[in-house]
Structure 1
Amino acid sequence: MPITHLAYLHGFRSSPRSAKAQLMGREVARRHPQVQWWCPQLPPSPRAAMDMVLRGMSQWPVAGTAVVGSSLGGFYATHVAETIGCRAVLLNPAVDPARDLARHVGDQTAFHAPGEHFYFAPEFVHELRALEHGPVRRPENYFAVIAKGDEVLDWREMTARYPGARIKLLEGGDHGISDFERHLPDVFRFLGLD
């Protein structure tokens, strides 16, 4: 069944202004205007972010719902998919953000607006731990695009996190998947929107 509702969750220090979010939003609007698109600015608190997202998606039909997440957003997308049973597209997903972001506690700048600051509080690390899940229950609900050249996250750890899922492993590449446009057809196909 093609999806009817699609959420995009950005990564740490990122925003709905990210290149991937903007590109995907434009392509969804152009090619699939019937799909409800939602790309919210996520608050720094993981608990608040997930409360907001799950509340915002609560009236969406599960069979027609999908979530796309990049980096930390991929970790969040996994939490959403495991919680409600929808499909998820993961773009270089963070696997253990509590471990990786513990060293980033403190004042942070927004990637797309360096003048904007936010505080990543110590308790946010514990909130990330609380969102962790064991092995994914329905690997067929997942499609991951993972770059071996990711300079932030280890591609081996990312692929090992999603056994049985559909994985597009890129030789080279980077954390931001700067050639994302090339992979959009595969993403849309997975979502039943080709």
Structure 2
Amino acid sequence: MIIYIHGFNSSSASLKAQQLQHWLAARGRAHEWVCPDLPDRPLSAIALLSDLIEQAPTPPKLIGSSLGGFYATYLASQYAVKAALVNPAIHPGLLLRPLLGSVQQHWHDEGTYTFTQAHEDDLIAMDQLSPANPHNLLVLLENGDKTLDWRDATSYYREAHQLIFQGGNHGFTRFLDVLDLIDRF
């Protein structure tokens, strides 16, 4: 089982989630794809993902993008599973603080919610000074990401496996190119 964890305000309809689903299907492994549409509240999202991990017949692999990379880091520390982190968010409680009180629009549907202090508190509660079990983490970064500073991730994940690509963007343009590597990790 591979659990894809989407980013902030995203969903299972995201480009990378769909690319992974098609990549697995082309290899006769469509049944391995799991990508829940996560609740807006971070602790609710973690509870949902934790249930999926605990119910999996074998330890799943996690792939997390942006905020999903933060969630995957947290879950990898809790369950000692492997995780590939794609342009992961570092300390998102602080990063998203300027959004307090703002109405957020989901990327792939008409849903909205207000980003509150409770959202920030959830994120801060899950934050780690450094990632646990860094040997279980594969960090994939494109240094053309204008949303998150890739250097923050290289520093934070300094003990983890890292690949840094020139150019690209926050969406990680090379995702299809690294799926074989992620699969073997």
Q: TM-score range by the shorter chain?
A: over 0.9
Residue equivalent to 2:172: 177
Q: Deviations over 1:83-109 (max 9, x none)?
A: 010000000000110011111222111
Q: Paired residue for 1:147?
A: 142
Give 3-state SS (helix, strand or coil) of 1:57's partner: helix
- Correspondence for 1:125: 120
AA at the equivalent of 1:27: W
Check whether the contact 1:149–1:173 (CA below 8 A) recurs between aligned residues. Answer: yes
What amino acid is aligned across from residue 70 of structure 1 in structure 2?
Answer: S
CA contact (8 A) 1:11 1:70 kept: yes
1:59 to 26, 42, 55: 55
Query: Matched residue pairs, number?
Result: 184
Q: Does 1:39 align with 2:35?
A: yes
Aligned to 1:95: 90
Q: Match of 2:14?
A: 18
1:159 paired residue among 144, 154, 162: 154
SS at match of 2:111: strand
RMSD: 1.6
Q: Structure 1: 5+ residue runs without aligned partners? A: none
Instruction: Report the secondary structure of 2:173's partner residue.
Output: coil
Is the 2:76–2:133 Cα contact (8 Å) retained in structure 1?
Answer: no
- Kept in 1: contact 2:65–2:88 (CA 8 A): yes
SS of the residue 2:69 aligns to: helix
In structure 1, what is the equivalent of residue 182 of structure 2? 187
What SS does the aligned partner of 1:186 have? helix
Alignment partners' CA distance in 1, 2:11 and 2:69: 14
**What SS does the aligned partner of 2:145 have?**
coil
Aligned twin of 2:107: 111
- Could you list the per-position Cα deviations for residues 141-189 of structure 1 after superposition, in whole angstroms to 9, with x for gaps in the alignment? 1111101111011111011111221111011110001232122222222
- TM-superposed CA distance for 1:30, in Å, is 2.2
In the alignment, the residues of structure 2 paired with residue 101 and residue 129 of structure 1 have an alpha-carbon distance, to the nearest angstrom, of 11
Shift of 1:112: 2.3
Measured after TM superposition, the shift of residue 35 of structure 1 is 5.3
Amino acid at match of 1:48: S
Q: Determine if contact 1:6/1:35 at 8 Å carries over to the other structure.
A: no
Alignment deviations for residues 8-49 of structure 1 (CA, whole Å, 9 cap, x no partner) = 110001111110010001111221527532100011100111
Larger strand proportion of the pair:
1
After superposition, the Cα gap between the structure-2 partners of 1:52 and 1:95, relative to the gap in structure 1 and judged at 3 Å, is same
CA distance in 2, matches of 1:171, 1:100: 24
For 1:9, the aligned partner's letter is I
How much has 1:135 moved relative to structure 2? 2.2
Aligned equivalents of 1:94, 1:173: Cα separation in 2: 16
Q: TM-score, normalised by structure 1?
A: 0.89
